């Protein structure tokens, strides 16, 4: 477990804050009826089990980088900076455009980032955005420019088995982004914690397509290129590991759950989030959600939800915000920050 910073309620802010947010959701809306039949369930069953009503699906000619570029542009517009101001671009994804090069390189080129701008990917599956956020915060300390762009983007529709009701009903496509830059006194990223639980890595996986099981007619016939998930095992992991870790993180940072103004968790499953918020003692109405409309968007879910909260005016300057990513690996990423509101809200970008 890595602790990337600590905070106390009386301490001044960290050096880095979120200056702007952005998101991109594909225009094609997929309702429950569209995925229910192939999965052998009903709209009512999906709503009861997950709380999801719809999700977005990328067009056939759209790749992860396309959504990431649009979200990045929206975040930079909100922050009032251009691509030339960036020293770093980090893309969190487990559905890259291709194995090589990094999707972040495609994004950097698409945004028109300056020659020499560092760009790399992070694959911590659904925790990826919070991992990338923590990494970028520390890279900025030695960067030529004080600005970084951190993006979470995934197109899970390309790796789902339509007949698998454990996964096909949950996931949607999308991207979310934030710009990091100088914090005002009393604002910014206060603390972070990253943790991995490799012994439980088989709870969520795509078995084939890598060096252990290269893609072949046999792996395709066996469906080994599809995303798989042990739903019950994941729920047990969240209850037994994530919930107590979040509580400890908040308390060790000098706060209580009651002090959290906005809890922005990975949008894994609506029912799971209801249980998690109740276990943590997060105040009613403080958990920010987007799963009803967008489903589980992987590494994009935390930044999409944060962007929606920011642009709807829910986040006030100085609010205490808790970000929590968890999922495949298994992995968990946490960040605690004082919100720094700098620009008026804009509308969400749709591809």
Which amino acids are annotated catalytic? Answer: 126, 266, 296
Instruction: Report the C-alpha gap between 259 and 273 in whole angstroms.
Output: 19
The full DSSP string for 73-94 is HHHHHHHT--GGGEEEEEEE-S
Helices 64-79 and 103-111, interaxial angle, to 10°? Answer: 50
Contacts of 155 (CB under 8 A, 6+ apart): 58, 62, 63, 64, 67, 95, 173
Q: What CA–CA distances, in Å, run from 225 to 56, 93, 133, 263?
A: 21, 17, 29, 34
Both tokens of 46, joined, read 């999906």
Helical H segments across the chain, by residue range: 32-39, 43-50, 64-79, 103-111, 128-139, 217-221, 231-237, 243-252, 270-280, 291-294, 301-311
3 state DSSP class of 349: strand
Among the listed residues 202, 279, 198, the one whose alpha carbon sits nearest the alpha carbon of residue 234:
202
Both tokens of 96, joined, read 């890259």
Give buried/exposed letters for 116-153 (b at 16+ CB in 10 A, else e).
ebbbbbbbbbbbbbbbbbbbbbebbeebeebbbbbbbb
Instruction: Report the C-alpha gap between 290 and 184 in whole angstroms.
Output: 29
User: How many other CB atoms sit within 10 Å of the CB of residue 38?
Assistant: 14
Measure the CA dihedral 171/96/138/349, to 10°.
Answer: -60
Instruction: Report the C-alpha gap between 197 and 234 in whole angstroms.
Output: 12
Query: By CB neighbour count within 10 A (0-12 exposed, 13-18 middle, 19+ buried), where does 313 fall?
Result: exposed
3 state DSSP class of 66: helix
Torsions phi, psi for 263 (to 5 deg): -105, 120
């Amino acid at each position: 477990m890595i602790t990337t910073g600590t905070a106390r309620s009386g301490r001044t802010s960290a050096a880095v804050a979120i200056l702007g947010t952005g998101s991109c959701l594909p225009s094609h809306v997929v309702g429950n009826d569209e995925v229910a039949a192939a999965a052998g369930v009903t709209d009512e069953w999906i709503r009861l089990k997950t709380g999801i009503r719809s999700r977005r699906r990328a067009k056939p000619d759209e790749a992860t980088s396309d959504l990431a570029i649009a979200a990045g542009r929206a975040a930079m517009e909100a922050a009032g900076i251009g691509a030339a101001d960036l020293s770093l671009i980090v893309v969190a994804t487990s559905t890259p455009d291709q194995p090589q090069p990094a999707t972040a390189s495609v994004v950097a080129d698409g945004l028109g980032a300056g020659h020499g701008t560092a760009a790399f990917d992070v694959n911590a599956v659904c925790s990826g955005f919070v991992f990338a956020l923590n990494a970028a915060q520390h890279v900025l300390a030695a960067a030529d420019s004080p600005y970084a762009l951190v993006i979470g983007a995934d197109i899970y529709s390309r790796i789902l088995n339509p007949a698998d009701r454990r996964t096909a009903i949950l996931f949607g496509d999308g991207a979310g982004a934030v710009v990091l830059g100088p914090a005002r006194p009393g604002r910014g990223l206060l603390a972070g914690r990253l943790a991995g639980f490799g012994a439980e890595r088989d709870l969520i996986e795509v078995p084939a397509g890598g060096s252990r099981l290269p893609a072949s007619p046999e792996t395709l016939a066996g469906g080994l290129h599809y995303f798989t998930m042990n739903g019950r095992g994941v729920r047990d992991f969240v209850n037994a590991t994530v919930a107590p870790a979040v509580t400890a993180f908040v308390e060790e940072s000098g706060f209580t759950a009651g002090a959290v103004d906005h809890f922005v968790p990975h949008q894994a499953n609506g029912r799971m989030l209801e249980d998690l918020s109740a276990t943590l003692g997060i105040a009613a109405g403080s958990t920010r959600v987007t799963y009803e409309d967008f489903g589980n968007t992987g590494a994009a879910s935390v930044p999409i939800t944060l962007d929606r909260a920011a642009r709807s005016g829910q986040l006030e300057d100085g609010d205490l915000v808790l970000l929590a990513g968890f999922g495949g690996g298994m992995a968990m990423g946490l960040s605690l920050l004082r919100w720094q509101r700098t620009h008026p809200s804009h509308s969400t970008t749709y591809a």
